[in-house]
Every structure is written in C-alpha cells, then in structure tokens.
Amino acid sequence: MNSEASATPSSDRVSELIDTHVHINFDQFDEDIDAVAAAWRSAGVVQLVHSCCHPREFSRIMALAEKFPELSVAVGMHPLEAAEWTEESATEIRELANSPKVVAIGETGLDFYHDVNQIPQQQAAFESQLLLASELNLAVIVHCRDAASQTAEILRNFQRQSSQPVRGVMHCWGGTPEETKWFLDLGFYISFSGIVTFKNAHQVQASAKMVPSDRLLVETDCPFLAPVPRRGKRNEPAYVRYVADCVAELRSVPKATLAAQTTKNARECFWPFQI
Ligand code: NI
C-alpha cells in the first residue's frame, strides 16, 4: 500500500472503498485538489476510476493520474459529445488506450434526456466504443439516461454478435428493478451514485436491493450529485462512503461487508488481470 495509507493510525483505519467514477479534472477542483485527495485517502478510498467525456480531456486526466497513483483512467467520448464522433475518434481512443493507466473505455452510451437530436450519432459512437472495449479487453463505462431499452438492445445485439463479449458497468444507475435485470442478464455491473441516497429515489433504492452482491459497485460521479448529507454541495470522492453506507443500510448488511464486496467487484471489473 502507499505511504499515506500506512501512515494512518490503525485506530483510524476504515474499510477500503473504490470510487468507480470521478471527474476530478473539472474546474470545480482547481483550487483544492490536494485537500480533496487527502480527504479521500482518510475516508479509505484506495482506488479511483477517472471517466473521460472527450479525448481532448485525456492529457489533463493523465497528469492527475501521474500525481495520484491510485487514480486509473478511462478514455472515450460521452453521448452528449457524439456530434463530434468520427472514424478518427475511434483511432485516437485506441491509441490513447495504450497507456497502462487505462482500464476502461468510456464514458459512452445513450442520453435521450438531454439530447434527442443526435440519436444516430450517439448510437454509432456507442457501438464503436463497445467494439474498442471488446478488442482491447477493457471494461466499458456506460452512461444511460432515459434510454434503457435502446441501450439494452444495442448491448444485446453486441453480446450476441461479438466473438468477445464486453464487460462493464452501468454507471450512476437510475433505473427500475426491471431495467436493472436487463443489464444484469447482459453480465454488467451496476454502479450506484449519490442518487440512491435521495429521499424520493424509490425505484433506484429498489434496484440497489435486488442487485446480486457480486455485481454491485459504488461511485460519486463527482463533482455532480453529492449524496445526502452533502446534497447540493460539490461532490468529491471521499463522499463515496455515504453512498456505500446507504446501500449497506438498504440491503441490511454491515457497512464493512458492503465495502469489501464492492471493492472486490471493482477490481474484477476494471483490473481483472491483477487479481
Ligand atoms: Ni460521468
């Protein structure tokens, strides 16, 4: 383990967690990134996966990964950037994915909540990135907003036709139990964010109760969607603890058990060759 972890007095040790989805390259962190990192370390966050919304973000994300060794990265293009998708994008992502820091392709997927004008482009970008993840044997990070049936359909076709099925995660999951089952049947992990802590998130909470323990992940998606009791504030990786504790409570399991299970699952999803 790193020196920071071993420097923590044993009485203060908390169970380890992995935040499987962060955007700490955003300018909300420009002023205090060192304090944010100190906070996640003392909260027991031992690894993080940095999502990527556009290849133009990649060099900044890699600089952060140099600075914070526990940060692994994804490379890809978000569905809301899909208007910019070209064949060259796939080539560029494939090259950037050569870095040993890269553990996933994404985030990609479909977002019909914010944008229904680019549906064919979103689908094309998603299908290309699935192919990349499969070819490169990397996880895929799937963003899905108001598009569960279309997302499941694309994944179903892909898993059926591909010589190498893709593994990955439904990130910041907001679906119903029925929708959740579609993605579980496709072999996907389901990652819960601060949404699960919101009082009225009944469907998401029902989903968090029914996911098998070996498919559960937790994330912040920071700087967005801070969990209760930080709702409305800037979100940060240390707060993944609130998400994990809420999911533990919903499932009536000890917090340490939930932390250990989600940490194991994250390693199997993103670092399967190091286990
Ligand atoms: Ni994201």
Q: How many angstroms separate the Cα of 209 from the Cα of each of 181, 190, 217, 253, 271? A: 12, 11, 13, 11, 25
Residue 250 Cα to ligand 1 middle (Å): 24
The vertex-89 CA angle with 269 and 19, nearest 5°, equals 30
Q: Which CATH architecture has domain 17-271?
A: Alpha-Beta Barrel (3.20)
Secondary structure of the chain as H, E, C letters: CCHHHHHCCHHHCCCCEEEEEECCCCHHHCCCHHHHHHHHHHCCEEEEEECCCCHHHHHHHHHHHHHCCCEEEEECCCHHHHHHCCHHHHHHHHHHCCCCCEEEEEEEEEECCCCCCCHHHHHHHHHHHHHHHHHHCCEEEEEEECCHHHHHHHHHHHHHHCCCCCCEEECCCCCCHHHHHHHHHCCCEEEECHHHHCCCCHHHHHHHHHCCHHHEEECCCECCCCCCCCCCCCCCHHHHHHHHHHHHHHHCCCHHHHHHHHHHHHHHHHCHHHC
Residue 51 Cα to ligand 1 middle (Å): 6
pLDDT at 4: 43
- Spatial separation of the C-alpha atoms in residues 46 and 44, rounded to whole Å: 6
The residues facing 170 across adjacent strands are 142, 190
Threshold 0.85, pTM exceeds: yes
- Judge contact between 197 and 242, C-beta under 8 A: yes
Q: Residue 137 contacts by C-beta under 8 Å, 6 or more apart in sequence? A: 164
Residue ranges in the chain modelled with pLDDT below 70: 1-13, 275
Residue 53 Cα to ligand 1 middle (Å): 7
- Annotated binding-site ranges: 21, 23, 107, 143, 171, 221
- Judge contact between 223 and 251, C-beta under 8 A: no
Residues 228-244 pLDDT 10s: 999 999 999 999 999 99
Share of the chain above pLDDT 70, in %: 95
Residue 191 Cα to ligand 1 middle (Å): 12
- Spatial separation of the C-alpha atoms in residues 87 and 262, rounded to whole Å: 36
Residue 144 Cα to ligand 1 middle (Å): 10
pLDDT at 3: 43
